[in-house]
Amino acid sequence: MRKSFLFFLMIIASISVYSQKHVNLDNVEIPAKIKGRTERVIVHKGYTVSYNADWKIPNWVAYELTDEEVAGEEPRGKKFIPDPMVPKYESATTEDYKNSGWDRGHMAPAADMKWHPQAMKESFYLSNICPQNRNLNAGAWKELEEQVRDLAAQKGYIYVVCGPIVSADYQTIGENQVVIPQAFFKVLLQEENGEIYTIGFVYENVAGRRPMSTYAMSVDEVEELTGIDFFPSLPDKIEKRAEAEVDFTKWTVKLREK
């Protein structure tokens, strides 16, 4: 009888370990609904966007990036256009950015969408674009985008959420009053040997370039800055641990220190 009971306990323990190592990551990149903020959630082929009609920019853009997608060969698009799923009166236009002194900065980078013509086209929708400092767009932010692709290529897949951080005293550009973000965030999630790891980055929307590690922080800290609940579909215990810690040894592609 005792042996039967011990065998039963061993079965229960093995089921518990198995369940921890098989967390359902379907749509894990989609944040929770943001309290007190306008958002229209739109699902495109390559990414999902929470669009803010008051700001004329996204609240967040989220997607999974795989090693196969990183290896895509679709040519880079050239034409920025309004998102057809955003009503015209809620959208920015390319004229808003013209002569503004600000780049049309992708949140989901075009280089992450080169695996399909439609995904590439949609990356140029203005719902995926924010006014971004030119030096940041071509420098430190681009370096982070490249780092994410390196990680996806090595890990097999990685989950990405990025977007603007808007201050209370924000400024705007253009006739449609497109909001200029104070900063940008990017949070990443990966699974390694059944464990979940996350990391966050925040870059001020200004010129300058520092070592990438100096922009890094925990996802909990990014949540505090943005008011966004990331990875809400994770089991609570896993989410709490993963979002509180930043362990660079688990991100085996060396962080570029340029």
CA trace torsion 172, 218, 106, 89 (10° rounding):
-50
Whole-number average pLDDT of the chain: 90
Which tens digits make up the pLDDT trace of 115-134? Answer: 999 999 999 999 999 999 99
Residue 162 pLDDT level (bands cut at 50, 70, 90) = very high
Higher confidence at residue 3 or residue 231?
Answer: 231
The CATH class that applies to domain 24-250 reads: alpha beta
pLDDT at position 247 over 80: no
pLDDT at 21: 55
Q: Give pLDDT, residue 248.
A: 66
pLDDT, tens only, 137-149: 999 999 999 999 9
Would you say residue 192 has pLDDT above 90? no
Annotation says 116 is catalytic: no
Output 232 or 256, whichever has higher pLDDT: 232
Q: What is the pLDDT of residue 17?
A: 33
Sign of the dihedral through C-alpha 105, 107, 110, 112 = positive
In angstroms, the CA 146 to CA 112 distance is 9
Query: What pLDDT does 233 receive?
Result: 96
Strand runs labelled E in the chain:
40-43, 48-52, 57-66, 103-106, 129-132, 157-165, 172-173, 178-179, 183-192, 195-204, 216-217
Tokens coding 45: 């082929």
The pLDDT confidence band at residue 23, using thresholds 50, 70 and 90, is confident
243 has a pLDDT exceeding 50:
yes
3-state secondary structure of 1: coil
Sketch the domain layout of the chain as residue ranges. 24-250
Q: Which two tokens stand for residue 230?
A: 């990331």
Single out the catalytic residue among 22, 44, 106, 116.
106
Which amino acid is present at 250? K
Is residue 182 very low, low, confident or very high in pLDDT (cuts 50, 70, 90)? very high
Q: Which tens digit of pLDDT belongs to each residue from 39-97?
A: 999 999 999 999 999 999 999 999 999 999 999 999 999 999 999 999 999 999 999 99
Which band of pLDDT confidence, cut at 50, 70 and 90, is reported for residue 244?
very high
Q: Out of 86-90, 174-178, 202-206, 242-246, which region has the weakest mean confidence (pLDDT)?
A: 242-246
pLDDT for 5 equals 40
Residue percentage of the chain with pLDDT more than 90: 83
Q: Please check the confidence at residue 20 and state whether its pLDDT lies above 90.
A: no
Helix and strand totals (H; E) in the chain: 8, 11
Q: For residue 11, what pLDDT band results from cuts at 50, 70 and 90? A: very low
Amino acid 253: pLDDT = 56
